[in-house]
Structure 1
Amino acid sequence: MWQDSMASGRSSRSKKSHDCLFDGALVNGHSTLNVPNNYDRRQWTDIDASSFAKNTFNPIRTFVEDPDLQPNPEKNVISLSIGDPTIFGNLEPCKEIIDAVQTSLKSMKCHGYIPSVGTRDARRAVARYSSINGLEVDPADVILSCGASHALEMCVLCFCDPGENILIPRPGFSVYKTHAEAVGIETKFYDLDPTKSWQVDLHSLRSAVDNKTRAILVNNPSNPCGSVFSKEHLRDILEVAREFRLPIIADEIYEHFVFSGQTYHPLASLTNEVPIVSCSGLTKRFLVPGWRTGWIIVHDINGALKPIKKGLVALSQKIMGGNALIHGAIESILEKTPQAFFDATVKVVEDNAVLAFNALSSIPGLKPIMPQGAMYMMVGVDLERFKEFPDDTAFCKELFRQESVFCMPGMAFSYPNYFRIVLTVPREMILDACDRVSTFCEEHAKYFS
């Protein structure tokens, strides 16, 4: 039963207590503590970071914030590394979005703390916005978060204890692994197939499941691949989840961000059995990543997710609520933003994808894979042709040093011999970047024989 698979069955953790209390007084302004004999007196040099901190590693942020990584000072930097569509100013939120925030600000009602799960109006607005393709979302099943990454973190922490595991895609967004492994939760990969537009390798998915697996994480549309799964393929994934009685965490932050001829299907709209917790937000589609407003929707078809929903509410209370200003504006943002704004944004990205694909396809040693949505393209690198580089990270670093083109190595997504480019920059920058990549590859391919 789903209820059995969701039950934690875990023993409660005991609370540590102090063995002793220190007694003492102040003499001439100094403490005279009676330090117990069994106290391990430390040196100031012994102040160590926690294992939580030391186990936290975000390869994307580590790479882009490396102080030793410097561009060619004679060339302007073209950053194709981070999925922030606002960097170059060619993509901006529309007037309706800005007006909604201004109205919220001027109302003088959105300056205080708000409920940790989000305001009532915000939850209702997200529920209405997400009630598509036959889905009917109850506002009570909506939990707002500080961005979709925060939503994903809460989901990972809610489903798994240390020593248990979650299945994540390879290549996949690195923050999945960051959230899990920092607290001792294991991640196991299932593969995406580059020869099939990055569809899930279903055999790989089935093979990854073991007795400690607590959930499958599915990202559609995909970062870093730009893939958009068909309805049939999503049903195949759901069948694996049904077979193993595993819930799904659906990372759908790029919902509706699909190119011509593609259709986005909310995963929860395709099942009447598999429990799904979906994560999304304003970040990408509305071009406001810095506003840090995301949400979780608990699709609890059969009641199996009651403990998970309760746990998510508890985890949301670790912080003092979200951004009150944006919560005050979100109803207007979700309901009044015109479709023409979304269409124009997608067209810019799709046009750039076509330009980049055509340009990079003509470069010996590179193999771009045309995306179907989202904001990214993965590009294969034949390191046999560029033998001076031991891996894709070295390739990307030298590309930045020589040509000031900043790409994200595939190893950041646990997928070597590739790099990812962001497609939200102005058209002329995409063309310039591809020209520089061509020059770089031509120079370094001279070692190929």
Structure 2
Amino acid sequence: MPSICKNKVPISPCAENTINPIRALVDNLVVRPNPDKQLLRLSIGDPSVFGNFNPPPQLFKAVSDNLQTSCYGYGPAHGLEPVRAAIATFYNTDSSPITSEDVYVTSGCSDALRIAIDVLGSDKRNILLPKPGFSLYQTICGNRGIEGRFYDLLPHNDWAIDLEDLESKIDNNTAAILVTNPSNPCGSAFSVKHQLDIIKLADKHNIPIIADEIYKDMVFDGESKSFGELSVNVPVISCGGLAKRWLVPGWRVGWLIVHDKHERLSEVRDGITRLCQVIIGSNMLVQGAIPQILETVPQSFYDDTLARLKKAADIFYSKLSKIPQLRPTMPQGAMYMMVEIKVDQFHDVNDDMEFVEKLISEQSVFPLPANIFGMPNYIRLVLTAPEEIITEACSRISEFCSAHSVSPPNKKSRS
């Protein structure tokens, strides 16, 4: 009888170096919540989780109408021309005119980011990433052997970029600066002045910008624009999609928009097209519905979504600001809030991971520890929960902090 080989088959370096910190934490967490309390998940930025943020009916009608067409075959790998034209029209501005030739349809914004990083980065070139920042950037770079160099955001300055730190990370092998605006995980939205300062720095060093703008136009107060709209000389590759603003993260359709006023990215454009061919295009049913979606969804839907997210942020900020052991930062956009944990004011909590584990086991409240975004001793909360859940979560967090706070010093008795 022939012998049977039982040697383990090794995985590739590509697989071994692929780590998504958020999914790894959420999928593998072994802490048991308190069985006497409903688990309140404030961890994942999926607006569909609680059932209170729903897509507008125009989206379902657009997809339903598209079912009557020949939407079941392959299309161009970089997207149907009418779809690319509709996206270009939706985002076109006088200062940065774009056409269908500047748009590439992808399988979600994550795929757009993958393509943008792939087309510019290599194992010999580095890409500058925000810290704290969306952990997928590091996942994509690590998977491909691209060095991700982290530049700091300033927590006490509305998470603005530390421009001195950013410039210190640039060298001759820097392929791109990746920026997120509005931000996951910070909930920040850069001022136009700050955006122009970032563009000026990129221009000084002749470095293109990759702009993660999946939360574009989701700004509560103030003005924040697309980097491509503001840039005069610096090429910008903007990544966006349907997931967040239209509340359909599971539909997996995104896009890249190339802003290149001086035609510096001619080779890059060809590279983007080739990289789109890896998966032979995105979902044909959904992408075919995009022109109708962009044309028919009313402004009132976008306004209502923002108003409800802003109200959730106000509730969180008002209640958490009253807890001495925490310091929330008021969001300016997107769907998130970052909260600092003052670990020196707890007698048995040493870092954000321990805070989250104990909060889950005692109070059944699950925020994300921000060390997975590169920011220890912070937590990230999502703003998409219903008001009653937010209020209940804040009450439980307050109770938890009180129970674990440093005991006040004993008063000396009078003799």
Under a length normalisation based on structure 1, what TM-score does the superposition of the two structures give? 0.88
Distance, in Å, in 2 between the alignment partners of 1:199 and 1:42 is: 60
Determine whether 1:433 maps to 2:393: yes
1:70 to partner: Cα distance: 2.5
* Residue identity opposite 1:329 in structure 2: A
Q: Which runs of 4+ in 1 moved over 3 A?
A: 41-44, 446-449
Q: Given the alignment of the two structures, is residue 442 of structure 1 paired with residue 402 of structure 2, yes or no?
A: yes
1:373–1:388 CA distance, 2 compared to 1 (3 A): same
Which digits, 9 at most, give the CA deviation of each residue in 1:217-264, with x for residues without a partner?
0111111111111111100000110011100000000000011x3223
8 Å Cα contact 1:387-1:448 kept in structure 2: no
Map Cα deviations across residues 49-108 of structure 1 (whole Å, 9 max, x no partner).
Answer: 111111111111111111513322211111110111111111101111111111112x14
For 1:147 and 1:415, locate their aligned partners in 2 and report how far apart those are by CA, in whole Å: 26
Which AA in structure 1 matches 2:253?
T
* Conservation of the 8 A alpha-carbon contact between 1:154 and 1:316: yes
Give, in whole Å, the separation in 1 of the partners of 2:334 and 2:122.
Answer: 31
Whether contact under 8 Å (1:384, 1:448) holds in the other structure is no
| Alignment match, 1:78 | 40
- The structure with the largest alpha-carbon Rg is 1
Partner of 1:63: 25
Contact in 1 for aligned 2:95/2:230 (Cα 8 Å): no
Check conservation: 1:165, 1:214, Cα contact below 8 A.
yes
Match of residue 406, structure 1, among 348, 356, 366: 366
Q: 2: CA distance between counterparts of 1:55 and 1:80?
A: 28
Query: Which SS does the other structure have where 1:214 is aligned?
Result: strand
Aligned to 2:326: 366
Shift of 1:443: 0.7
Which residue pairs with 1:315 in the alignment? 275
Which residue, 88, 111, 118 being the options, matches 1:127?
Answer: 88
Cα distance between partner residues in 2 of 1:45 and 1:410 = 39
**Counterpart selection for 1:206 from 134, 155, 167:** 167
State whether residues 380 and 417 of structure 1, in contact with CA within 8 Å, keep that contact through their aligned partners in structure 2. yes
Q: Deviations over 1:137-171 (max 9, x none)?
A: 11011111111111001111110111321001111
Counterpart CA distance in 2 for 1:273 and 1:302 is 7
Is the deviation greater in 66-75 or in 269-278?
Answer: 66-75
> Is 1:45 aligned to 2:26, yes or no?
no
Is 1:389 equivalent to 2:349 in the alignment? Answer: yes
Percent identical: 44
**Residues 266-345 of structure 1 mapped to structure 2, 5 A cutoff:** 266-345=226-305
Supply the AA of the counterpart residue of 1:208.
K
**Structure 2, unaligned stretches of length 5 or more?**
410-415
1:190 corresponding residue in structure 2: 151
Q: Equivalences for 1:143-154 in 2 at 5 Å?
A: 143-154=104-115
Aligned length: 409
Give a deviation string over 1:351-407, Cα, whole Å, max 9, x none: 010000010011111000001110000000011122423321121121111111110
Shift of 1:133: 5.5
Separation (CA, whole Å) in 2 of partners of 1:397 and 1:247:
40
Distance of 2:272 and 2:361 partners within structure 1: 44
Amino acid at match of 1:79: R
Aligned counterpart, 1:116: 77
Which residue is equivalent to 1:20? none
Instruction: Give the unaligned 5+ runs of structure 1.
Output: 1-29, 32-40
Answering whether residue 185 of structure 2 is matched by residue 224 of structure 1, we say yes
